[in-house]
Structure 1
């Protein structure tokens, strides 16, 4: 093989140059990705070089030497960084291999047709060399693509942090330095968010296993929660952190309540902040979404807590010191009772509040007589010095009750015996069967 190539080297070089011209023109005409990336001169030079490298590889293989693949690896990494599809790159290599074999056979035929049988064993060797080159290109491309994906995800995460935390990250700071825009505006622009719109933030409760709750989406993109990909759903940019997951929601024309539908398939507790109109206000929405989540005890199970629907409880959650004082001043005598009595009165109060002050409905929920509920509520009034007929004092009791529930959630190790007020239990904590027959 080496002798044949040496005999036709000059003619083969001319034919390879012509093949490079043909492949360049065909590639630019048929592959928009290449046409958008490279000019004709540069592409032609790279193709010509690859064809010559294949011939050198064939010679080295015939001498028992390994094929030099450094250039192929460099091309694979470069094209991955440039964003050229791998299919385009490999298609050009395959076409180049066919043109190279055609050039070889034409050169041998022109030199000595009788020598063609001597060329045939070289076909296997040539395709082996081409396989090694394409394998090297592919492996290098995929490594570079994975590294670029990691960088893109880190960059996207840093930009989201700028918006969510209100800080200035290096990426956004560099963008902001280039023009008269804030770091938040620069970060939003990099993420493809509009300067003005309707945004909110979702904070998910941390999963006990540490596994992400939200399916991973491609770097730099947003997707509806649950990965449905529905075009009509709001766009969500997710940020996974050690303490939970955060979603920046671009609502568009969708109402804030649509976030509940987005999160329902996930089956988790979540807090949702208010709607804000500018990227600079996203950090505030994030802070308030985290506060909304704190108003939703774990005992309530999976649910989505919208801040605007839980403002009284959010007030309590926002001021830990005042919440503690509220608990002690308003419900101190109740909290000092033995565990069974404390549980009974607090559960009854919570149920009565949930039933909008209806003693009858509370009795049905607690599976006890209406008079029993009334007696418990009177005792609670006597202990606290508050009247359930005075709206202002009802507000105090409701806020104090919320403070107790939030303390239970925050301190499970020292949790007082305060079950879910919706649970159907007797004062002693023993479950009772509903007096109503099951359907």
Structure 2
């Protein structure tokens, strides 16, 4: 094969130049990605160079030498950085291989048709060279693309952190700069959602979901940009015209506990929404069924959660005598109080929910009034009891921790 190539080298070089021009024209006509990236002269020169490299690879292979693949790797790296699809790059390489074989056989036939049968073993050698070049270009492309993806992911994470934390690192982007780079408008309707950890969050997270993970806006819902952080997963929500309630609908299929902060009008205010979203999440017990808590619907519970020291004081001052009772008595009175509060102060409805007589509920509530010195007919006392009851529940949830059952 080496001898034949040396004999036809000049004619082969001319034919390769013509073939490169033809393939460049065909590629630009059929592949918009290439047409947007390269001009005909540049692409022709690149194809011409690759064809010559393949011929030299064939010669080296016939001598028992390794094929030079540095240029193929450099091409894969360059095209990945430029954003050319890998399918386009590999298609051109494969076409180049077929075209080279056709050009080579035509040149041999023009020189000595009787030498054509001797080309058959060379076909296997040529395709081996072409496979090595194609593998090298693909491997370099994928490596570069993976590196670029990691770099983009880290950059995107830093931008989201600038929005969620409010004060970026020295030299880092401001919230306004981060918003621009993430494609968020200067003014609009935004909120933050924080996902809870624990047994409820056992399915695939939103960062793996197609629309949410890419930050794309679903056709019928708000756009969410997700960020996985050391303390959990958070999402910046661009609501647009959608109501805040739509976030609850968006999260429902995920089966997770979540807290949602209030709506803000500018990206620079997202840090506040993030802090309040985390506070809203703290109002949802770990052992509870998956639930999305909107802060504005959970303000009393959030108030208790925000002031741990005062909440503990409130719990002990208001419900201390009840908490001092034996475990079963304590559980019965606290459960009755919570049920009565959940039934908007209706003793009859509370009795139905507790599967007991109305008089039983009344007796329990009367005993609770005697122990606490608070009257359930006094609105101010009811507020105290409700907040203290919330403090008891939140403390119990904190003591149990994720995955531990609620005491009976």
Whether the TM-score (by the shorter chain) exceeds 0.5 is yes
1:418-437 aligned at under 5 Å gives the runs none
Note if contact 1:108-1:115 (Cα within 8 Å) is conserved in structure 2: yes
| Secondary structure class of the residue paired with 2:376 | coil
Q: CA offset at residue 300 of structure 1?
A: 2.9
1:217-267 Cα distance to aligned partner (Å, 9 max, x none)? 57982157xxxxx52121111112233211211112111111111111111
Is 1:256 aligned with 2:244? Answer: yes
Please point out which of 206, 211, 214 is paired with 1:221.
214
Please point out which of 323, 333, 348 is paired with 2:336.
348
Is 1:192 aligned with 2:183? Answer: yes
Is 1:312 aligned with 2:300? Answer: yes
Note if contact 1:158-1:169 (Cα within 8 Å) is conserved in structure 2: no
Deviates more, 1:116-125 or 1:328-337: 116-125
Note if contact 2:206-2:213 (Cα within 8 Å) is conserved in structure 1: no
CA distance in 2, matches of 1:201, 1:383: 42
User: CA 1:211–1:75 in 2, change beyond 3 Å: closer, same or farther?
Assistant: farther
Is 1:400 aligned with 2:388? Answer: yes
Please point out which of 293, 312, 316 is paired with 2:281.
293
1:324-376 Cα distance to aligned partner (Å, 9 max, x none)? 11111111111122211111111111110000000111111111111111111
1:181-228 Cα distance to aligned partner (Å, 9 max, x none)? xx112111221222222111111111458875325157982157xxxx
Note if contact 2:263-2:273 (Cα within 8 Å) is conserved in structure 1: yes
CA distance in 1, matches of 2:71, 2:178: 37
Please point out which of 385, 397, 407 is paired with 1:409.
397
User: CA 1:276–1:66 in 2, change beyond 3 Å: closer, same or farther?
Assistant: same
Q: What TM-score do you get using the length of structure 2 for normalisation?
A: 0.93
Unaligned runs of 5+ in 1: 174-182, 225-229, 420-428, 430-439
1:170-209 aligned at under 5 Å gives the runs 172-173=172-173, 183-208=174-199
Deviates more, 1:286-295 or 1:100-109: 100-109
CA distance in 1, matches of 2:406, 2:286: 13
Unaligned runs of 5+ in 2: none
Aligned residue for 1:113?
113
Aligned residue for 1:9?
9
Q: CA offset at residue 418 of structure 1?
A: 7.8
Note if contact 1:155-1:171 (Cα within 8 Å) is conserved in structure 2: no
CA distance in 2, matches of 1:20, 1:223: 41
CA distance in 1, matches of 2:368, 2:51: 91
1:70-219 aligned at under 5 Å gives the runs 70-169=70-169, 172-173=172-173, 183-208=174-199, 213-217=205-209
Please point out which of 355, 363, 370 is paired with 1:382.
370
Q: CA offset at residue 106 of structure 1?
A: 2.4
CA distance in 2, matches of 1:385, 1:418: 28
Aligned residue for 1:434?
none
| Secondary structure class of the residue paired with 2:152 | helix
User: CA 1:3–1:285 in 2, change beyond 3 Å: closer, same or farther?
Assistant: same
Q: What TM-score do you get using the length of structure 1 for normalisation?
A: 0.87
Aligned residue for 1:38?
38
Note if contact 2:283-2:302 (Cα within 8 Å) is conserved in structure 1: yes
| Secondary structure class of the residue paired with 2:293 | strand
